Structure 1
């Protein structure tokens, strides 16, 4: 075995001198893998590994590792941002990337308008209702990132200008030529004079409000506004994540003024709703996945201790993957949500096998049980993990970022899964009394 491995390793190593870089990389990889295979075959002692895993110091190291591991993972989860980035779906040479950059870096940070659809406007002729509506607008203009009254648009502001200067021409309005001052105090005390509304709404340039302002006449031939549009400006938005936070705060304001039945609207509302729903959907789905894993483990093992250990190991792996993805410049979106669900499904493979083989072997000594479990599945677990890692590693450099995100999640699953399957779980299995880790007498036939 030694002669064969060394000769093959040296033979492939000679291929590194060829001029083609692709062949150099291939030969170097094969040569190194053969040498490492020989090294591990000769030096790794399963009995020594089993004795260490079953020792008191291994338990101490495992607990200390889990504390540090969970600490940084939980910090990563808390810092994980929720966003949807269209750039992830586009190749690097796409012209759409420039459009996304312009929106995120130039337009939204300077000005972003949110349209409020008011389906139950107040009675503007009533001074109390009119004052309350005006106070609401002033409160909204004081919100974070609001541009204030200079960026607020609704028909009432133009109507007050019209009442102050009914003879102003279209050019006067457009170019801001001053006329008589708007006296809003009178209308605050007495309510708006709606008798001139028909003339206002049919006068240029105020006819633009016909689209966003609907009205009828009551039995006394008075104008009653049935729905209207309120447009407010904001700045400081640099991504869909920021826009989602802004829209959520807008909805909170609308929820405090239910009498107006207001709805904030933006062209990205559907995407924003997805962004806002991703955290809760991910949590609920992952929670259901953990419960399903625990139920299946209990059905096949009939051992509550082993089932709890399997669930906790999957939870630990998933927490690590999600938390460390944040350090790898990932954010929570529908793509990562799917990757997290894949992680939960894949991680069970790295823990349930070692638990199963530990339970069904006939040994009573802890070291012998660990050794038998390693002999049954450790090599296949390593092979599966390393092969998965090697397959997914090149995907990290894919030009479309969506593939790289999935690759990152799977690679972290492999790393965390192997750590748990080959060290953490066996260590805790050996620390538990045999009465908690024995298989139910009739669930499997003894070998």
Structure 2
């Protein structure tokens, strides 16, 4: 058996026709079963535990920086006796005082250094004493005889002057960074440290009110997690508002008036049906979240935006089903009408469901290397399940509701009070005309008109679609909009618009900015936002430290190897992102400085003995924890690996951070035999910057491929499937370009929405294309009029409902939420433009 294009369409239409008859025969079962399933699955929400680890959620799982961090953690774990300020790779905890059943001091919770003391920002005392004694302070490294201290990562906004010997002397500094590292083990101590952090924030909030001359910013290990929760907390009440707005909009769109009057036809107008249609999506959302919680798939705060998408898509599909029902003949029995409705609407909805959900499924479970950002994966899993269950409930619960309301309409009953409606008469009392009028099932010569909130409609259809007098909204698209659109001059203008649209989209893409900056995970009024801005302004321009690990140290008894190691350090220190040799913190160099001061001569064969003597002669030196000792084949003590630090410059923007990351990794690759690793905590985010573009492009390609295959099976003409795919690609190009012009980065947040915009693209393109292909008209103009007449208004309703659903997010003071709103708004607006302008013209030109 050979499959052809559109081979599934007639079979699907036949299946859903039979399915409609089945539901009509047993509506109660299809009504109550989804309600019971929803109630059962929703109990899973009791065990909902949000995951708010920002570094895990928004950085790629296979990011090189995670391997680099693990290498440093394994060699230099952050435990008591090994902590040296500036060398930690776990998020610092800055803290003051906290009381919990007893008086806790900083010494109770601090991480101690090699000398057993709390690392207590000793550079503060060092710089203060030098300043008060009138001694010039060199920068970026302070040197007193054989001892040195790197202070560029602690002092920011430094102004310099030249000393007598040409060295840089500090004139003034604008910022001072203090770090207080707490223990995070065992669990009880970690918990107390967390309480300290929150108490510290409260104390600092109060202290800031009393000081006017010093600007204080602060940040602790739980800040990102806490701020992510604020994003979710601000969304909850907004969803209630969006739900109410969609219900009101759906009710208004359901209004049908008596022919040649302004009074509502309460038989055809079904406000409760609209409420239940929107609630159907709510059932799918609750069921999906409960089910996935039972399955152990952790919820994260960005999923809080998922309901806005799903309820909008669910409402869109409701409009399609209701519009399809209205196109059936009211003289038919209710079961025949439901069968025709399902046969007509379900295939179009099926295209959306299959493409949208299969795309989400592919992204969620990682076909190949589609996406490695956990936040995107988890979001797609939740969205996929919510859309699938919403679709299933539309075919069961909402279809059963349609059956009951079609029976009520057939009997001429009031759709709200379920009492016989009154036939229109101008002599009827006003309260009857306002609240009790209704139409009877028409004869073939009857006509109807449907309206939005402001126009009147009739409520009847004839038995032949050829002679139907369509509702006013449908008539607008069929008799006015489509014929005007098909005029040669308008087509030429639309073609020019499309060229301008493509040019602006490509222009925007050329300035695409990648990456989710840590500060953008915060709400706009977060106390931590100024902290990030200070880092960008004062520390990422000059002075931030980079750790460089030599995992396979050479035999340092060989003087040639020592020279090679020194040259390697100079190579890193003198790259375009480094501040030079004066920013190097390297035990081997300091050992040579000490030897020169004391006029010592090292015996190469005993180099390791000399190194141990130097390193351990002063336990306050950071070199104690920078060297990892082991034994060679002769059981001699040797240095197996070590690390050194260099100072960096100009990493204040995402682009420069990415360039610096690539530069240092490229330099490390030159010394392959030493297995060199470079790392700083910011690398976790720069890896996301580098991977988000290829991830997004792969996602779009897979999405379009899935859509192309499925639409080819469901849409009879293969050329149409191709143009649907072209439309989706064009919409995504526009979203990427225009979001850049709207100051939105391509990051994990916008990436999620771009993935979802493929689904929205399918909504607009697949519905119009399917209607165009199955039209019985013979000319392209008539087929466009037929397609836009049947589906122009439902598509417009879907677009408006989605924009209304996300519009409540437009003023939320959080980058993540506003980014979501902007990208969804662009996806809907551009998709709507394609669905009602560009795609019909493409079909009329390229499809006969």
Q: Identify the TM-score tier after normalising by the shorter chain.
A: 0.7 to 0.9
Residues 1:123 and 1:301: Cα distance change in structure 2 (over 3 Å): same
1:379-424 deviation line (CA, Å, top 9, x unaligned): 1111211222233223111122211111111111121111101110
1:345-384 residue pairs with structure 2 within 5 A? 345-384=759-798
2-structure distance, mates of 1:36, 1:388: 22
1:99-131 deviation line (CA, Å, top 9, x unaligned): 222222222223211101110123333243333
2-structure distance, mates of 1:191, 1:284: 56
Which secondary structure state, in structure 2, belongs to the residue aligned with residue 395 of structure 1?
A: coil
Partner of 1:284: 698
1-structure distance, mates of 2:835, 2:845: 15
Partner of 2:504: 72
Which secondary structure state, in structure 2, belongs to the residue aligned with residue 263 of structure 1?
A: strand
Residues 1:350 and 1:194: Cα distance change in structure 2 (over 3 Å): same
Say whether the 8 Å CA contact 1:59–1:428 is kept in structure 2. Answer: no
1-structure distance, mates of 2:554, 2:488: 73
Query: What residue ranges of structure 1 are gaps of 5+ in the alignment?
Result: 6-32, 167-179, 435-447
2-structure distance, mates of 1:222, 1:165: 29
Partner of 2:333: none
Say whether the 8 Å CA contact 2:545–2:648 is kept in structure 1. Answer: yes
1-structure distance, mates of 2:620, 2:629: 15
1:132 aligns with one of 553, 561, 564: 564
1:265-344 residue pairs with structure 2 within 5 A? 265-344=679-758
Residues 1:269 and 1:310: Cα distance change in structure 2 (over 3 Å): same
2-structure distance, mates of 1:37, 1:115: 72
Residues 1:349 and 1:80: Cα distance change in structure 2 (over 3 Å): same
2-structure distance, mates of 1:346, 1:154: 56
Which secondary structure state, in structure 1, belongs to the residue aligned with residue 808 of structure 2?
A: helix
Structure 1 position 159 matched with structure 2 position 591: yes
1-structure distance, mates of 2:652, 2:622: 30
2-structure distance, mates of 1:404, 1:3: 44
Partner of 2:657: 243
Q: How many Å apart are 1:238 and its aligned residue?
A: 1.8
1:407-446 residue pairs with structure 2 within 5 A? 407-434=821-848
Q: How many residue pairs align between the two structures?
A: 388
**Which piece of structure 1 moves more, 368-377 or 83-92?**
83-92
Q: How many Å apart are 1:304 and its aligned residue?
A: 1.8
Structure 1 length as normaliser, TM-score? Answer: 0.78
2-structure distance, mates of 1:368, 1:221: 90
Q: How many Å apart are 1:146 and its aligned residue?
A: 1.0
Structure 1 position 109 matched with structure 2 position 541: yes
Q: How many Å apart are 1:428 and its aligned residue?
A: 0.9
**Which piece of structure 1 moves more, 155-164 or 105-114?**
105-114
Residues 1:45 and 1:157: Cα distance change in structure 2 (over 3 Å): closer
Q: How many Å apart are 1:346 and its aligned residue?
A: 1.1
2-structure distance, mates of 1:127, 1:42: 87
Say whether the 8 Å CA contact 2:515–2:692 is kept in structure 1. Answer: no
Partner of 1:86: 518
1-structure distance, mates of 2:657, 2:822: 27
Partner of 2:816: 402
1:386-401 residue pairs with structure 2 within 5 A? 386-401=800-815
2-structure distance, mates of 1:153, 1:87: 29
Say whether the 8 Å CA contact 1:158–1:206 is kept in structure 2. Answer: no
2-structure distance, mates of 1:243, 1:382: 43
Say whether the 8 Å CA contact 2:542–2:649 is kept in structure 1. Answer: yes
Q: How many Å apart are 1:60 and its aligned residue?
A: 3.3
Q: How many Å apart are 1:425 and its aligned residue?
A: 0.5
Q: How many Å apart are 1:269 and its aligned residue?
A: 3.5
Residues 1:395 and 1:431: Cα distance change in structure 2 (over 3 Å): same
Q: How many Å apart are 1:361 and its aligned residue?
A: 0.9
Partner of 2:51: none
Q: How many Å apart are 1:61 and its aligned residue?
A: 3.1
1:264 aligns with one of 670, 678, 681: 678
Residues 1:196 and 1:35: Cα distance change in structure 2 (over 3 Å): same
2-structure distance, mates of 1:238, 1:268: 11
Residues 1:226 and 1:283: Cα distance change in structure 2 (over 3 Å): same
Q: How many Å apart are 1:316 and its aligned residue?
A: 0.5
Partner of 1:442: none
2-structure distance, mates of 1:248, 1:192: 38
The higher relative CO (CA closer than 8 Å, separation ≥ 6) is in 1
Query: Alignment RMSD, CA only?
Result: 3.1
Partner of 1:146: 578
Say which structure is richer in helix. 1
Say whether the 8 Å CA contact 1:353–1:377 is kept in structure 2. Answer: yes
Say whether the 8 Å CA contact 1:126–1:192 is kept in structure 2. Answer: no
Query: What residue ranges of structure 2 are gaps of 5+ in the alignment?
Result: 1-256, 264-451, 458-471
Which secondary structure state, in structure 2, belongs to the residue aligned with residue 428 of structure 1?
A: helix
Say whether the 8 Å CA contact 2:731–2:827 is kept in structure 1. Answer: yes
Say whether the 8 Å CA contact 2:704–2:728 is kept in structure 1. Answer: yes
Say whether the 8 Å CA contact 1:115–1:264 is kept in structure 2. Answer: yes
2-structure distance, mates of 1:406, 1:360: 36
